[in-house]
Amino acid sequence: MKKITILLLAFLGLQICISAQATDEDALAIREIYDVVLSQGDCYETLEYLTKEVGGRLSGSPGAAAAVDYGQQKFETMGFDSVWLQPCMVPHWERGDKEIIKIVSSNMIGTQALNGVALGGSGSSGDVGVAAEVIEVKSLDELKSLGAAKVRGKIVFYNRPMDPLQISTFAAYGGAVDQRVYGPQTAMEYGAVATLVRSMTTRLDDVPHSGVTVFEDREKTIPAIAISTNDAELLSGLLKKEPVRVYVRTTAHWMPDKLSYNVIGEIKGSTHPDEIILVGGHLDSWDLNEGAHDDGAGCVQALEVVHVFNTLKKRPNRTLRCVWFMNEENGQAGAKEYANWSNELGEKHIAAIESDRGGFTPRGFTTEADESVYKIHLKKAKSWENLLSPYGLTIKTGGSGADVTRLKPQKGLLFGLAPDSQRYFDYHHATNDTFDKVNKRELELGAGAMSALVYLLDKYGM
Amino acid sequence: MKKITILLLAFLGLQICISAQATDEDALAIREIYDVVLSQGDCYETLEYLTKEVGGRLSGSPGAAAAVDYGQQKFETMGFDSVWLQPCMVPHWERGDKEIIKIVSSNMIGTQALNGVALGGSGSSGDVGVAAEVIEVKSLDELKSLGAAKVRGKIVFYNRPMDPLQISTFAAYGGAVDQRVYGPQTAMEYGAVATLVRSMTTRLDDVPHSGVTVFEDREKTIPAIAISTNDAELLSGLLKKEPVRVYVRTTAHWMPDKLSYNVIGEIKGSTHPDEIILVGGHLDSWDLNEGAHDDGAGCVQALEVVHVFNTLKKRPNRTLRCVWFMNEENGQAGAKEYANWSNELGEKHIAAIESDRGGFTPRGFTTEADESVYKIHLKKAKSWENLLSPYGLTIKTGGSGADVTRLKPQKGLLFGLAPDSQRYFDYHHATNDTFDKVNKRELELGAGAMSALVYLLDKYGM
């Protein structure tokens, strides 16, 4: 018994020794990764090109085609074993002429222009535009309770703000965005002739924020306009005093679906080629901005992981794949195509990391997985927290990313890079999501976080 | 024995019950505090006034006098039991004319202006300026090893960058700032006629960053100029190829010390009036900017704590004192005066919280205290982490603030609000430290963090 105990203690001691040694080695390796990213990083310059030279890149637009072309060229320089474009048919919506939104009758003021942009997927007002009385609601339920009789012929104005009391702005967004996504269709069903939606931001300013709205039938749409929060406040204030008529002109329209592509690069794993680790972001953006935080940042951070492995002359044990997904913003055609293709091949993504919450200082990763494996995967990932905490990172439950979540059936662990969320909705889908809003160090630290996590996943598997 | 055990268990059970109840109560109270700050907060508007209406406020300047006057007026509206100005004599340095810094001889280019600003406390070149050959060093030690023979008559150029590999930019600053603080005096001792210092920022841009330099004798100074990082790179590049002469003209000079003030407001504690909790920031800034992050943000966050207590109609148990310290930037005359006065009165600050690291998303607090009490204080504060973690906050070792650290002899626990550090040195002491660089939510979350901590300190003491 005593002998067994001693043996057991010796064995445990050895385990602890090995484990401590691995930890030291890992700590040094992660430090080295951050050193590369922070002193020889490539992602800020890549982002500058993607935002300043390529610019806005809404699915189906010439900008998106240019982005695919640039992506392929860039990937070809990164030392992948193979680079390819994966075709997918994407929806193609066009904004048309610059929108006109005006208050045309009110005792308070004369004709007053409002800052507004058509929502992606919304319909045209026709060339002459549409003018109607505005009716303000705070929710879809409120609209429904008013009933068709009160809504018919009106412009419905959804004006429930994002809740400023949420600490996570993503939670606040989640609590308000139904107005933008589903509000216009519902308003149309109740007879509205157009929709105004308060922009999805906690800031009070003059910048309207676009984003997707969903009409069940592309042939049956009405104008749907996001107006700035300042203008939403103005309009709401006027409506408390008197009826207000607003004029809306938008020539937004659908075009036939268009061929586009995911950009994919792969380095085959040296020892476990069948175990895939994916890093990615989405290449498409809205049309009115440079798509800097959303999601140029995520694309270049994902690619930086490869740059880090190259710079450190480290060939991954497992297959490392970088994907710039097409069409996250309004359809996720790229994500669907990728997941279908991968599932059909019987591939196994042991992990996939998406960065799509802006290039701000990272606070860690949120995770999800198929229920049957999540607990055990999460435990393993959380065992790395001590290695990541010097860089301000934690690993938590809470979703991954719109593109990689479709890989859940492959039973790997799916991660979303979780940066500080406070400024994201200052810029989200708005004209001001430009390169200058991205801080180089914050961007690089996100790339460092992803690279460190890939290092651990590559070494220890999942 | 059995009975005692049962009693003991019952007692422990009761303790756990009470403790759980207190925790729930505290969690709700802290949530309420954040609700006030995020929906009815006053700090962003106060900062707008302090930065846009008052503006730059270097000790001894008219701006500083205006800031004191505004501070007193503002404090008078905050429902303090008493508001007073605490006199202190502050150093008074003036920048004089806009500095001229030019490369005047180089084969590469003709006369080339450099972006530079005189360091606070530096000397004049005289009206005609000074031109001399530049000698680049990376450290004070390198300068000393060159010796007086090689330095005499030259312009010394300190060019060691802040280390980009540090995750905390404050650590990087700490590793480079000796060049700015002590470099010019040392260069003068070795016979230099002027000094150029690479700006203290990790960014590469055209913005020079001022800050204090220390000459042992105000009558014996030389010009000392911070140049932008881009210009430091340019100059260093030229120096690798050929000798370079630079012309410097600055009329910076000392004036006689001037009377100024700390602005102080106090609410007497209802049950423990002798136990003081201080919240503060420093009112002075550099002259060339609005002092938005440094340290308008800290001032208005500290005052927001009082606004929160007022709004919740909560009278503190312990005495709550808000202090806007004068002269943190170049002398700490206000901090010295306050600490001397308080120590002489035999006061007991059980805690003091300073915010002076910018109005960015808070990540928690760093702490310090007299060695004799630190361990036990820190343990108590860390027991609150579970209440603070929903707001992304931790409590760690690591210093408090330049103004409150002098209260250490009173054996309370001293805190520094620790926000995300990545962007701080983009703006630090530079012309671009302006109101528009402060994000409302980030600022408010810092105020929420301080208010929550004060709530706990006020309830449980230290």
Distance from CA of A142 to the nearest CA of B (A): 24
Sheet of B394-397: strand order equals B82-94, B253-267, B318-325, B272-282, B348-354, B413-419, B362-368, B394-397
Give residue-wise pLDDT tens across range A345-374: 999 999 999 999 999 999 999 999 999 999
Residue A321 φ then ψ, to 5°: -125, 130
Residue B363 · residue B2 · CB < 8 Å: no
* Residue A191 DSSP label: T
For A255-285, the pLDDT digits (tens) are: 999 999 999 999 999 999 999 999 999 999 9
What band does A14 get if pLDDT is binned at 50, 70 and 90?
A: low
CA B11, B12, B13, B16 torsion-angle sign: positive
The pLDDT value given to residue B95: 97
Residue whose entry in the numeric block shows the structure tokens 């380095």? A267
- Average pLDDT on A165-177 reads 97
Residue A391 with chain B: CB contacts under 8 Å: 167
Say what the pLDDT of residue B419 is.
Answer: 98
**Chain-chain contact of B165 with A426 (C-beta, under 8 angstroms):** no
Distance CA A64, CA A150 (A): 42
| pLDDT score of B18 more than 80 | no
Average confidence (pLDDT) over B7-19: 54
- Say how many Å lie between the first and final Cα of chain A, rounded: 36
CA atoms within 13 Å, Cβ hemisphere of A356: 27
| Measured CA distances, B372 to A444, B173, B397 (Å) | 41, 30, 15
Strand partners, B267: B320
Cβ of A167 within 8 Å of Cβ of B34? The answer is yes
Check residue A9 and give its pLDDT.
Answer: 52
Q: Which of B200, B203, B206 is nearest to A443 (CA)?
A: B203
CB atoms within 10 A of CB B6: 10
In the prediction, which pLDDT does B112 show? 87
pLDDT (0 to 100) of residue A112? 87
Q: Is B286 helix (H, G, I), strand (E, B) or coil?
A: coil
Residues of chain A neighbouring B390 (CB-CB closer than 8 A): 167
Answer yes or no: do B439 and A445 touch at CB < 8 A: no
Residue A287 and residue A18: Cα distance in Å, rounded? Answer: 53
Which among B202, B420, B426 has CB closest to A361? B420
Name the strand (E) or helix (H) holding A263.
strand A253-267
**Binning pLDDT at 50, 70 and 90, where does residue B111 land?**
confident
Fold equal for B30-93+256-460 and B96-251? no
| pLDDT > 70 in chain B, percent | 95
**What is the reported pLDDT for B219?**
96
Side-chain half-sphere exposure of B369, counting CA atoms within 13 A = 24
- Stronger pLDDT, B17 or B254, i.e. the higher one: B254
Please tell me whether residue A348 adopts helix, strand or coil conformation. strand
- A441·B422 Cβ contact <8 A: yes
Predicted pLDDT at B23? 82
Select the residue of B164, B392, B440 nearest A39 (Cβ to Cβ).
B164
CA nearest to B294, candidates B421, B415, B413, B424: B424
CA–CA min distance A387, chain B (Å) = 14
Nearest CA of chain B to the CA of A100: how many Å?
29
Q: Which residues are registered as beta bridge partners of A277?
A: A320, A351
Percent of residues, chain B, with pLDDT higher than 90: 93
**Mean pLDDT taken over chain B:** 95
Range with the poorest average pLDDT among A106-115, A265-274, B284-293, B296-305? A106-115
Rounded to the nearest integer, the mean pLDDT of chain A is 95
Tell me the pLDDT band of B110, cut-offs 50, 70 and 90. Answer: low
- Return the higher-pLDDT residue of A387 and B18: A387
Q: Cβ–Cβ contacts within 10 Å for residue A10, how many?
A: 10
pLDDT at B109: 58
For position A124, what pLDDT does the model report?
A: 98
- Which chain A residues touch B34 with a CB distance below 8 Å? 165, 167
Q: Which residues contact B160 (CB under 8 A, 6 or more apart)?
A: B138, B139, B176, B179, B198
Q: Are A248 and A99 in contact (CB under 8 A)?
A: yes
CATH of domain A99-254: 3.50.30.30
Alpha-helical segments (H) within A159-296: 169-174, 178-181, 183-189, 229-239
Task: Specify the residue for token string 């907060």.
Answer: B41
Select from B399, B425, B413 the least CA-distant residue to B454.
B413
Least confident of A242-256, B10-24, B282-296: B10-24
Answer whether residue B126 shows pLDDT above 60: yes
State the pLDDT at residue A100.
Answer: 98
A165, A357, A394, A432: best mutation site toward chain B, by most B Cβ within 10 Å? A165
Q: Kindly report the CATH number that applies to the domain delimited by B96-251.
A: 3.50.30.30
Neighbours of A402 (CB within 10 A): 17
Candidate from B165, B167, B441 with C-beta closest to A422:
B441
Let me know: does B225 contact B101? Beta carbons within 8 Å. Answer: yes
* CA distances in angstroms from A81 to A266, A273, A316, A335, listed in the order given: 6, 12, 12, 22
Q: Has residue B276 got a pLDDT over 90? A: yes
DSSP secondary structure letter of residue B162? P
Across the range A318-323, mean pLDDT stands at 98
Interchain proximity B38–A420, CB inside 8 Å: no
- Tell me the pLDDT tens digit for each residue of B312-354: 999 999 999 999 999 999 999 999 999 999 999 999 999 999 9
Q: Please provide the CATH number assigned to the domain covering B30-93+256-460.
A: 3.40.630.10
Taking residues B443-449, what's their average pLDDT? 98
The Cα-based distances of A136 to A139, A192, A223, B379 in angstroms read 9, 12, 16, 53
Nearest CA in chain B to A390: B167
What is the pTM for the complete model shown? 0.94
pLDDT per residue over A38-77, tens digit each?
999 999 999 999 999 999 999 999 999 999 999 999 999 9
pLDDT for B45-74, tens place per residue?
999 999 999 999 999 999 999 999 999 999
- State in words which class domain A33-88+259-460 has: alpha beta
Residues B176 and A37: their CA atoms lie apart, in Å, by 21
CA angle A152, A154, A158 (to 5 degrees): 110
The ranges assigned to domains in chain B are 30-93+256-460, 96-251
Residue pair A197/A140 in contact by the 8 Å Cβ criterion: no
Per-residue pLDDT at B425 exceeds 90? yes
**Cβ-Cβ contacts under 8 Å for A370 (sequence gap 6 or more):** A408, A409, A411
Exposed/middle/buried for B338, CB within 10 Å: 0-12, 13-18, 19+? buried
Contacting residues for A230 by C-beta, under 8 A, at least 6 apart: A115, A204, A205, A206
In A, which residues are within 8 Å of B165 by CB distance?
34-35, 38-39
Q: From the list B35, B361, B422, which residue is nearest A445 (CB)?
A: B422
Residue B1 has pLDDT above 90, yes or no: no
A31: nearest CA in chain B?
Answer: B165
